[in-house]
Structure 1
């Protein structure tokens, strides 16, 4: 968790840049992100969350399935049908807020080799992809939740960060 950037770090508000080099460094970055996500018990992680301004995200919604990587992802289509669900975030410890998102999405991206891929996702998978895509644009779940929950989320976040700072000192 120490490698995951926390709320207040300016990189979390930055828009990530397109990846144009599909080399061993990129594959190493993706593998490292997958390990960090796993170690943090997360189901998704964007490169910006580890301080890298690349349009790269990894996710795994089933614990025993392989880690999926999307490079330069773009939502090609999203359903009109939306649903509210509670979301948390590795960069916002102790924050759990309701976020409304499309139930189905189709995402065009590239894999770690640069090959074009198309992902059609529904439910939790669609939600995770959209959450991580938001990170690549500098958007956090607190930006997408109703005002009362944003205030409550900020209180929980401040308490969690204060506790972490006390533990570190």
Structure 2
């Protein structure tokens, strides 16, 4: 396990779509371990492989340290509620910046485990927000693209001042 460098906004890698994982081997397990350690060190509650420059559809989310991390390989949203909710979001690639984003309140996600088993999970609340946020990142949609132009420009200016 290793803590890897996190790519910072506005690196173009953050706008690229990640490739589907087809090999469920020791390299994948090692990547998941590195993602978990990197996320915890950031600190954050979610991370994708693109955050560390690896364009593979892998994300790790850990809302509760005692419950441990959950890994989602090749995740895709297969259903989302019509009801929406607003939640504060940010990114480990843009530390210190957060804004409210409106998203569907509940989702159902189909994904694979590190061993390749296909599962579906329904989520609401913070887990639904995290899944949508990280799947967006895997699709090359950095979270600030979900903001209005004005809020996005303000967030970028605040981040530039922090840097």
- Structure 2 Cα separation of the partners of residues 24 and 67 of structure 1: 18
In the alignment, what sits opposite 2:143?
141
Gaps of 5+ in 1: 162-169
1:52-63 matched pairs, under 5 angstroms: 52-63=54-65
Q: Deviations over 1:87-130 (max 9, x none)?
A: 11101122111111111000000000001111111100000011
Counterpart CA distance in 2 for 1:129 and 1:146 is 21
- What is the match of residue 114 of structure 2? 112
Q: Unmatched 5+ residue regions in structure 2?
A: none
**TM-score between both structures, scaled by the size of structure 2:** 0.95
* In 1: Cα distance, 2:20 partner to 2:39 partner: 21
Partner of 2:105: 103
Q: CA deviation at 1:2?
A: 6.8
Could you list the runs of 4 or more consecutive aligned residues of structure 1 that deviate by over 2 angstroms after TM superposition?
Answer: none
Q: Which of 123, 129, 132 is the matching residue for 2:131?
A: 129
* Partner Cα separation in structure 2 for residue 38 and residue 117 of structure 1: 25
Which of the numbers 44, 67, 71 marks the counterpart of 1:69?
Answer: 71
Residues 1:2 and 1:25: Cα distance change in structure 2 (over 3 Å): closer
Q: SS of the counterpart of 2:97?
A: strand
Cα displacement (A) at 1:48: 0.4
- Give the paired residue count: 161
